[in-house]
Amino acid sequence: MSATQIAITLAYLLAAVLFILGLKQLSSPKGARNGNFTAALGMLVALAATIPLLHFTPAGLVITGIGIVIGTVVGTVGARVVRMTAIPQMVALFNGVGGGAAALVAVAELLKFGAHPAFAESFPSVFSIVIGSVSFAGSAVAFAKLQELMTGTPITYPGQQVVNGLLAAAIVGFAIAVIAIASIPFSFLALMVLALILGVAFVLPIGGADMPVVISILNACTGLAVAASGFTLNNFALIVAGTLVGASGSLLTKLMSDAMGRSLGNILFGAFGQVHTAATAAAGAQGRSVRSASAEDLGTLLAYSQRVIIVPGYGLAVAQAQHAARELADVLEKRGVEVEYAIHPVAGRMPGHMNVLLAEANVPYEQLKEMDQVNDDFKNADVALIVGANDVVNPAARNTPGSPIYGMPILNADQAKNIIFMKRSMRPGFAGIDNDLMFGPKTVMFFGDAKDSLTKLVSAVKAA
Amino acid sequence: MTNELIDEFTFFVLAVFVGFEVISKVPTILHTPLMSGTNAIHGIILVGAVLIASGAESPVNIVLGLVAVTLATTNVVGGFVVTDRMLEMFKGRQPGKTSPSPSGRGQGRGA
C-alpha cells in the first residue's frame, strides 16, 4: 500500500465515522441540526479523499464539472425555494435521483467488465441496476402523488398482484441471464426497463397518505444500491455509507409505520384485493347527502359555544390559513369561548409540520394539544372545527376493519356535540377513502378555501 | 473469493449492525428529518459517479457519467440543504418555548 492509498483509506474511515456520528445526532432533538452538518462534513471528506483516485480525460473533466455545477444549482434551488408544504415530495425527488445515479454507475462498471465478468463483479452491478431503478421510478410516482400530479388514491386493478409477481420473476430471470451469460449485448437495458416498470407498479396501489413510509423504504433501497455499487467499484466509502443508510432506513421505515399504528404489510399491500370494497363505498357515498350551512349560522353556533376544538390539517397549511385560524380563535376567546387546537401526529403530511405552522402564526403554545392529551376532551366540546383535515378524523380508522387506514390512531372529533367540517370539496382525503364523519347527523359541511372560510367565520362571529 | 471481497463483506455486515444501533431510539417528530438526512448520505454515490465520469472516453460513458454526476450531486446538495431547512423550523419549538407550557407537553415531545 502506498502512502496515498493509506491516506485515502484513513480519510474514508473518517468520513464513515462522521456519518455515524451525524446519524446519532440526527436522532435526538438537541443535536439534530448539528448532526446534519456532521454528515455533510463526512461527505466533503469522502469527496476530497477521492480526488487522488481520479485520472481525468479531457471529456471526463468537462462532464464532471458540468454535472457538479448543474446538480449543485438544481439541488440548492430546489431545496431552498420549495414551499414548506411540499418538502416530503422534495425528499422523494432527491432520493430518486440518488437511486438513478447508483444504477447508472453500475451500468458503466458492467460495460467495463466486458463479456464475462466474474460473479463478484456482475452480481453487485445487477443488484444495483435493479434496486436503483426501482427506487428511481418509485420515487417519481411518490413525487407525482404528493405533488398531486396524479391521484393520491390507491390505483388497483384485478390481478395486480399476479402482474407484479410476474414482473419480479422476469427481473430475476433477466438478472440471472445477465450474470451467467453476459455476452448478450445491452441485456442490462431490458433489466433496467423492467425494474423501472416494477418501481411504478409497486407504488401505484399505495395511498398518498402512506407516501412518507414508501419514501423511507425507497430511501433504504437506494442505500443498498449504493452499497452494491461500492462492491463493484471496490470502494470502502460507498459500501459503508450505503449500508448505513440501508440498515437505518429499514429500521426507520418500521418505526414510521409503528407510529402510524399500522403494519408495514398493511401499508404496502393493504390496497390489494380492496377493489370491491372501495367501489362499494364510493357507490354508497353517492347516494348519501350532507348538511351544509351558511357562515352566519355557523358563526352563531361558534359564538355561543363554551368550548371549541380546532382540528387543523393539510388544507389549512396549503391555504396558508394559520393566521386566519388564530384570528378566529382570538375573537372567540374575547367572547369567553375556550379554544384549543388538536394536533394529530401526522397532520400536515410531515410529523411536527402543523406545530411549526401554528407557532409561526403566534398561536399560544398552551393551546396546541397533542392527540393523547386532547382526545378525551372532545366529548365535552360544543364544536369540533375541522379545518382542511380529513383522514385524521375518519372514524373508519376505528370502525371499519377493511379500510386502508384501519388501526391508525385518530382524533375523536366525532364525539363532539357539533362538528363543523371545513373542506374545499367532497373529494376524499389523501388516503383516497370516504369519511363517514361528513355524513354524520351532528356534522355540518362548510365548503370553500380554508382561509376564505375562516375569514367569513370571523366576521360572522363578530356579528353574532 | 479474493481477500478484498472478504474485507468488503466484513465492512458490509458491521455497517448493517451500526446502522440499526445508531438510530434505535428516535422520537416521532424527527422521523422525517432523519429520513431526509440518510437520504443525503446515500448521495455518496457521487464518489462512484465521479470515478466513472472522470475517465470517460466513449460516448456511452460520457453520457452515463454526465447524467450520474448530475443526479448524484443533486442528491447530495439537495438532501443536506432540505434537511437543514426542516431542522431550522423545528428550532422554533425548542426549550425556550416549551418551558412556559404548564401541561408538561414538552416532556411528551422530547423536544
In chain B, % of residues over pLDDT 90: 60
Does residue B24 belong to any structural domain of this protein? no
A315 and A217 assigned to the same domain: no
Residue B73: give the domain boundaries: 46-87
Task: Taking each helix axis as running N to C, give the angle between helix A211-233 and helix A236-259, from 0 to 180 degrees, rounded to the nearest 10.
Answer: 160
Does residue A449 belong to any structural domain of this protein? yes
Note the pLDDT tens digit of each residue in A30-60: 888 999 999 999 999 999 999 999 999 999 9
Note the pLDDT tens digit of each residue in A119-161: 888 899 999 999 999 999 999 999 998 888 888 778 888 888 8
Q: Give the per-residue pLDDT at A441.
A: 86
For residue A271, give the H/E element and its range: none
Asked about A452 being catalytic, the answer comes back as no
Report, as an integer, the average pLDDT of B75-102: 68
CA distance A20 to chain B (A): 7
Cross-chain residue pair A40–B101, CB shorter than 8 Å: no
Report, as an integer, the average pLDDT of B26-35: 82
* Residue of higher predicted confidence among B74 and B5: B74
Q: Cell numbers for A270, please give them.
A: 393493504
Please answer whether residues A313 and A437 qualify as being in contact, where contact means their C-beta atoms are separated by less than 8 angstroms.
Answer: no
Among the partner residues A64, A97, A233, nearest to B54 by beta-carbon distance: A64
Please answer whether residues B74 and A94 qualify as being in contact, where contact means their C-beta atoms are separated by less than 8 angstroms.
Answer: yes
Q: Cell numbers for A268, please give them.
A: 404496502
> If you measure CA to CA, which chain B residue comes closest to A90?
B82
Please report, as a single letter, which amino acid is at residue A274.
Answer: Q
Cross-chain residue pair A251–B20, CB shorter than 8 Å: yes
Contacts of A234 (CB under 8 A, 6+ apart): B4, B8
Does residue A62 belong to any structural domain of this protein? no
Please answer whether residues A252 and B20 qualify as being in contact, where contact means their C-beta atoms are separated by less than 8 angstroms.
Answer: no
pTM of this structure:
0.78
Site from B17, B18, B71, B84 to mutate, A interface, most A CB atoms within 10 angstroms: B71
Please report, as a single letter, which amino acid is at residue A298.
Answer: L
Does residue A281 belong to any structural domain of this protein? no
pLDDT at B74 over 90: yes
Note the pLDDT tens digit of each residue in A261-282: 667 887 787 665 444 344 344 4
Residue A292 DSSP symbol: B
A264 and A122 assigned to the same domain: yes
Among the partner residues B51, B67, B79, nearest to A50 by beta-carbon distance: B51
A246 and A299 assigned to the same domain: no
Of A210, A258, A372, A391, the active-site residue reads: A391
- The pLDDT-based confidence of B93 (bands split at 50, 70, 90) is very low
Site from B21, B47, B91 to mutate, A interface, most A CB atoms within 10 angstroms: B47
Report, as an integer, the average pLDDT of A10-36: 93
Q: Which of A269, A304, A320 is the last residue of a domain?
A: A269
- The pLDDT-based confidence of B52 (bands split at 50, 70, 90) is very high
A206 and A98 assigned to the same domain: yes
Q: Cell numbers for A164, please give them.
A: 407484479
Cross-chain residue pair A239–B15, CB shorter than 8 Å: yes
A225 and A117 assigned to the same domain: yes
A304 and A258 assigned to the same domain: no
Note the pLDDT tens digit of each residue in A65-93: 999 999 999 999 999 998 777 888 899 99
**Chain A residues within an 8 Å CB radius of B88:** 33
Does residue B30 belong to any structural domain of this protein? no
Residue A265: give the domain boundaries: 87-269
Please answer whether residues A167 and A106 qualify as being in contact, where contact means their C-beta atoms are separated by less than 8 angstroms.
Answer: no
Does residue B99 belong to any structural domain of this protein? no
Region of A114 (left: φ > 0; alpha: ψ -120 to 50; beta: rest) is left
CA distance A194 to chain B (A): 19
Average pLDDT, chain A: 86
User: A303: domain CATH number?
Assistant: 3.40.50.1220
A430 and A349 assigned to the same domain: yes
Prediction ipTM score:
0.84
Lowest mean pLDDT among A115-129, A429-443, B27-41, B58-72: A429-443
Cross-chain residue pair A100–B71, CB shorter than 8 Å: yes
For residue A342, give the H/E element and its range: strand A338-343
Does residue A9 belong to any structural domain of this protein? no
* Residue of higher predicted confidence among A148 and A351: A148
**Chain A residues within an 8 Å CB radius of B24:** 251
Contacts of A443 (CB under 8 A, 6+ apart): A290, A291, A419, A420, A421, A437
Q: Give the per-residue pLDDT at A158.
A: 85
Report, as an integer, the average pLDDT of B9-21: 94
A341 and A303 assigned to the same domain: yes
In chain A, % of residues over pLDDT 90: 51
pLDDT at A182 over 90: no
pLDDT at A22 over 60: yes
In chain B, % of residues over pLDDT 70: 78
b (16+ CB within 10 A) / e for A117-147: beebbbbbbbbbbbbbbbbbbbbbbbbbbbe
Q: Cell numbers for A235, please give them.
A: 470502494
Q: Domain total for chain A? A: 2
Site from A20, A63, A357 to mutate, B interface, most B CB atoms within 10 angstroms: A63
Cross-chain residue pair B53–A57, CB shorter than 8 Å: no
pLDDT at B50 over 70: yes
Does residue A41 belong to any structural domain of this protein? no
Does residue A49 belong to any structural domain of this protein? no
Our CA angle for A379, A383, A387, nearest 5°, is 115
Task: Taking each helix axis as running N to C, give the angle between helix A119-146 and helix A187-203, from 0 to 180 degrees, rounded to the nearest 10.
Answer: 40
Does residue A43 belong to any structural domain of this protein? no
Q: Which of A269, A299, A324 is the last residue of a domain?
A: A269
Nearest CA to A210 out of A138, A157, A278, A277 is that of A138
pLDDT at A245 over 60: yes
* Residue of higher predicted confidence among A212 and A336: A336
Using CB atoms within 10 A of its CB, is residue B6 exposed (0-12), middle (13-18) or buried (19+)?
A: exposed
A252 and A372 assigned to the same domain: no
Cross-chain residue pair A67–B49, CB shorter than 8 Å: yes
Note the pLDDT tens digit of each residue in A284-328: 445 567 788 888 889 999 999 999 999 998 888 878 888 899 999
- The pLDDT-based confidence of A185 (bands split at 50, 70, 90) is low
Report, as an integer, the average pLDDT of A8-35: 93
Q: Give the per-residue pLDDT at A307.
A: 94
Full strand arrangement of the beta sheet holding A368-370: A368-370, A338-343, A307-312, A383-387, A418-423, A443-447
**Chain A residues within an 8 Å CB radius of B45:** 98, 101-102, 105, 225-226, 229, 238, 242
A345 and A244 assigned to the same domain: no
Cross-chain residue pair A243–B54, CB shorter than 8 Å: no
A238 and A299 assigned to the same domain: no
A175 and A210 assigned to the same domain: yes
Q: Domain total for chain B? A: 1
> If you measure CA to CA, which chain A residue comes closest to B99?
A365
CA distance B48 to chain A (A): 6
Does residue A340 belong to any structural domain of this protein? yes
